[in-house]
Amino acid sequence: MKITGIKSAMIQGVPWTWTLVKVETDEGICGIGEAQLPIGVRDILRNIEKLLVGEDPRHPVRLAQKIYRGLIGAGSTGGSIVLALSGVELALWDLHGKITGLPLWQLLGGKYRDRVRIYADTARPGDHSPAAYADGVRQRVEAGYTVVKVDIDNSAPGEYRKDHHNRALSRAEVEYMSAVSHAAYEALPADVELCLDMHWCYQPTDALRVARRLEDIDILWLEDPTPPENLDALKYVTDHTSVPIACGENHWMSHGLRPMIEDRAADIITPDIPRFGGVQEGKKVAELCELHSLAFAPHNICTPVGTVASAHVCANAPNFLALEHHGLDCPWWDDIALDWGGPVVDRGYIIVPDRPGIGVELNEELLRAHLVPGEVWWD
Ligand SMILES: [Mg+2]
């Protein structure tokens, strides 16, 4: 069997644009993957196709290395090259599963759990009030989730912000972030966990002012308090608060996360598998975290393709904590997967499928209806 081509389809999702990737073969079997962001991916896929056409597809790990090394001069240590690489790597694993008849979790060495705990991202309410945050998390609990996340950065009314460029917080903003965090926490039943996201906005001493205001509530994590390019700043926050700090969605490949893990600059590591390097890189990071006694909780904003691929890796990781779901505001998200037998994310969990490969059969009719304007199906 030989690889004959690589195709992509850009889907206008809610609120994201989703990029599906297909690896085709001369025997008609194909693998489906997903690259987490569309930026520049189409052009890069054309270059990856040149590297993979004619290759035997049964070697996803080696072929991903061929892409990484083949495009290193174009910047394959990070950025859009890795986005595209991730989408192809997921498709190669899906293809490998279809060739062998085995589900991805089995190709990875088995699983620790049959169902993967999903956490619900919760959009910022239009209303700035702490009560609106409390209502938002209550709705996620009613939908069955046992972990919810809310965004507390840049949510305060505009007059609270003194300067939009210096990464500093005003006293009013710190007070506001504390108020919405406490309101969300107090709205949750005792068996539901709360995560708070700061989207890498702040300098470490001000991020720490917020973290210290959260030390009296038992949150699962505070995410991305500082900009991703400075591990020392992140570690400063982590080392000076009892609040667990999560980070990792803006780092690339296992190489990019290795110093964060080895230096214990965060407590919970959050790579985005269909963005940061793919399935094998996800498994490597989970194992490195396990060696350092750190938790593994992947970021995710994908369709069911990237989400279920991530769920296979999570099922395989002993130190897995929770996997993100950021598609709750897309009314047709679950319908992307045909014949699933119910919602893909059901009451806060994904049952890891036993079908070959990733195990998501695409609803082509639905996806064709949501193509980005001007795009064609599998270009
Ligand atoms: Mg985040």
Domains assigned to the chain: 3-101+363-369 (3.30.390.10), 106-351 (3.20.20.120)
CA pair distance 366, 81, nearest whole angstrom: 29
CA pair distance 115, 314, nearest whole angstrom: 9
CA pair distance 265, 272, nearest whole angstrom: 18
Q: Ligand 1 center to residue 199 CA distance, Å?
A: 6
- In the structure encoding, which two tokens stand for residue 44, read together? 């890069």
CA pair distance 244, 241, nearest whole angstrom: 8
Q: Ligand 1 center to residue 229 CA distance, Å?
A: 15
For residue 99, the model assigns a pLDDT of 98
Q: Ligand 1 center to residue 276 CA distance, Å?
A: 14
Q: Ligand 1 center to residue 325 CA distance, Å?
A: 11
Q: Ligand 1 center to residue 160 CA distance, Å?
A: 23
Q: Ligand 1 center to residue 354 CA distance, Å?
A: 30
Q: Ligand 1 center to residue 360 CA distance, Å?
A: 25
Q: Ligand 1 center to residue 198 CA distance, Å?
A: 7
∠ CA 210-214-217, nearest 5°, is 170
Q: Ligand 1 center to residue 324 CA distance, Å?
A: 9
* β-pair partners for 100: none
Q: Ligand 1 center to residue 254 CA distance, Å?
A: 18
C-beta neighbour count of 154 within 10 angstroms: 13
Yes or no: say if 3 and 62 are a contact pair by the CB < 8 Å rule.
no
What values do phi and psi take at 247, rounded to 5? -160, 160
Q: Ligand 1 center to residue 29 CA distance, Å?
A: 36
Yes or no: say if 285 and 261 are a contact pair by the CB < 8 Å rule.
yes
Predicted confidence pLDDT, tens digits, the chain (379 residues): 999 999 999 999 998 999 999 999 999 999 999 999 888 999 999 999 999 999 999 999 999 999 999 999 999 999 999 999 999 999 999 999 999 999 999 999 999 999 999 999 998 888 889 999 999 999 999 999 999 999 999 777 787 887 878 999 999 999 999 999 999 999 999 999 999 999 999 999 999 999 999 999 999 999 999 999 999 999 999 999 999 999 999 999 999 999 999 999 999 999 999 999 999 999 999 999 999 999 999 999 999 999 999 999 999 999 999 999 999 999 999 999 999 999 999 999 999 999 999 999 999 999 999 999 999 999 9
For residue 372, the model assigns a pLDDT of 97
Pairing of strands 115-122, 349-351: antiparallel
Q: Ligand 1 center to residue 197 CA distance, Å?
A: 6
Q: Ligand 1 center to residue 171 CA distance, Å?
A: 23
Q: Ligand 1 center to residue 101 CA distance, Å?
A: 35
Q: Ligand 1 center to residue 329 CA distance, Å?
A: 17
Q: Ligand 1 center to residue 98 CA distance, Å?
A: 33
Q: 0.95 exceeded by the pTM?
A: yes
